[in-house]
Amino acid sequence: MASSTVRLRASAPSFTAHSAANPQAELSSSSLVPIRQRRPQLTRPSVTETFSVAPTHLSSAKVVGSLPQGAGVPPAKRGSRAPQAVATEAAPAVAEATAFHAKDDGFLYCDDRKVVDVMEEVPEKRPFYLYSKRQLTKNYKAYEAALSGLDSFIGYAIKANNNLKILQHLQQLGSGAVLVSGNELQLALKAGFDPTRCIFNGNGKLVEELVLAARAGVLVNVDSEFDLEHITQAGKIAGKTVKVLFRINPDVDPQVHPYVSTGNKNSKFGIRNEKLQWFLDEVRARPELELVGIHCHLGSTITKVNVFKDAAVLMVEYAEEIRRQGFTLRYLNIGGGLGIDYKREGAILPSPTDLIDTVRDLVKREKLTLIIEPGRSMVGNTCALVNRVTGVKSNGNKNFVVVDGSMSELIRPSLYDAYQHIELVSPCSGPVDTFDVVGPVCESADFLGKARQLPTPPEGAGLVVHDSGAYCMAMASTYNLRMRPPEYWVDEAGQLQKIRHAETLDDHLRAFEGL
């Protein structure tokens, strides 16, 4: 397989204006200087002038390879097996076990509870999400330990999973929160998060949402010219000075699915280098705003921590130049995006410690408070979607396992062609074959997995989609009037607790009452 190279195409902040006669002039290749070899200088251009961006390539990290789904997958006793990605970074010798695991008796467990027994205990005979509270705590503690010795805080990305019970538990553990809407802000406050440890992200924040943030004292990321204007308006309405961070687009390609890549130059997110000086001048002139930090976010499902280091080096260069202009920066927010082992083949992926260690010395040297925004890596492996087999059928040269779960409950495979491991919850003696696992929704795109090798399951057999804690229930819909499922967790004592009610048809009809 051909390897790729992760590249930083943006420079350190030279912020030097082109001549007025030729504002779009490009630098010659002889003027391109790696940022480690120079001290960038800033000048104050007019709003209409552009700035030079000298490319530099800091990273030679190779991208983790992957194979097509189903390629080289051996027969399995209960579950489908994906090919393991090739790891190219130093890592621990073994991968840690997660809450959902099979034991020697052939059954799948959530912590110490057989999933098949949980299925009997759950009264709703429909798909449901099952979580391990113990795994959630373990994931948070891993980030907490990784940040030891640093001035820092964790901002959990509510967009990944907005279950109120999960939010309350993370808040009690000490987490802050990252928000992308006014409703997420209100939910965070209801869950008890300290608003001064909350960050409001987003490229299209509304004035009314920003007023809520200003009144609460939430940190706000500036994403664009109009966003700056809206935040200023919100500060005036609230009568508060809004503490802001600049979300800088570092032009880093993290080599992930384009739908979850957010730090490249053509992304809808962030402020490009050539515009940054204008934003600095504007903030200086606006008493409603106080610049307290800078932020970047590269994307999601990232499995190479070198890209975080490259981005952090660039961000520190920006911080130094901004400080030289008289601003007091306190925060460096490097976002989130750490991937998880969706393949469930024991691949060694970077840990929170691996991630934080790439930026630890930089943050200490610059005396900055580090903000990290985990979402997927906080909740992804805490959960599985539990389904029942409705039946098995064949058409042409395709075999199908039809289950009661669907793209309505879990859209990631249909939306991103994402792989999530699928497994039967009990031993099965049926012949092993290759199946597409599909739901009952009236769409050909309604699948949970393709070309999975599974024992032919009987009707009613339990089947789980693993690692469903992030961007699954949060993206669920009521398409085909399939109401969103209930959620349960196994607590630290091994007890099953409902943490979200199932939606019903009455909930749907309630929206039309009185009309």
pLDDT digits (tens, 9 = 90+) for 171-198: 999 999 999 999 999 999 999 999 999 9
State percent of the chain over pLDDT 90: 66
3-state helix, strand, coil in the chain (%, to 5): 30, 25, 50
| Upper half-sphere CA count for residue 399 (Cβ side, 13 Å) | 14
Q: Is residue 119 part of a domain?
A: yes
| Cα 287 from chain centroid (whole Å) | 34
Residue 465: pLDDT above 70?
yes
Number of residues that this document lists for the chain: 515
Residue 500: pLDDT above 50?
yes
Is the same domain home to 105 and 162?
no
Is the same domain home to 283 and 153?
yes
Is the same domain home to 148 and 295?
yes
Of 333, 351, 378, which residue constitutes the final position of a domain? 378
Of 330, 350, 378, which residue constitutes the final position of a domain? 378
Is the same domain home to 295 and 394?
no
Is the same domain home to 350 and 497?
no
Is the same domain home to 300 and 362?
yes
Of 1-15, 331-345, 350-364, 476-490, give the lowest mean pLDDT range.
1-15
With cut-offs at 50, 70 and 90, classify the pLDDT of residue 249.
confident
Domain hosting residue 479, numbered range: 100-130+381-510
Mean pLDDT taken over the chain: 82
Query: What Cα–Cα distance (Å) separates residue 170 from each residue in 94, 201, 282, 433?
Result: 27, 19, 37, 42
Is the same domain home to 407 and 463?
yes
Is the same domain home to 363 and 461?
no
Residue 33: pLDDT above 70?
no
Q: How far apart are CA 243 and CA 246, in angstroms?
A: 10
Of 263-272, 320-329, 451-460, give the lowest mean pLDDT range.
263-272
Of 326, 350, 378, which residue constitutes the final position of a domain? 378
Residue 164: pLDDT above 80?
yes
Q: Is residue 27 part of a domain?
A: no
Q: Is residue 75 part of a domain?
A: no
**CATH of residue 284:** 3.20.20.10
Is the same domain home to 325 and 411?
no
**CATH of residue 468:** 2.40.37.10
**Residues identified as active-site:** 442
Q: Which letter does DSSP use for residue 16 in this model?
A: P
Give the per-residue SS3 of 175-226: CEEEECCHHHHHHHHHHCCCHHHEEECCCCCCHHHHHHHHHHCCEEEECCHH
Domains contained in the chain, number: 2
Is the same domain home to 399 and 354?
no
Q: Is residue 81 part of a domain?
A: no
| Cβ count near 372 (within 10 Å) | 28
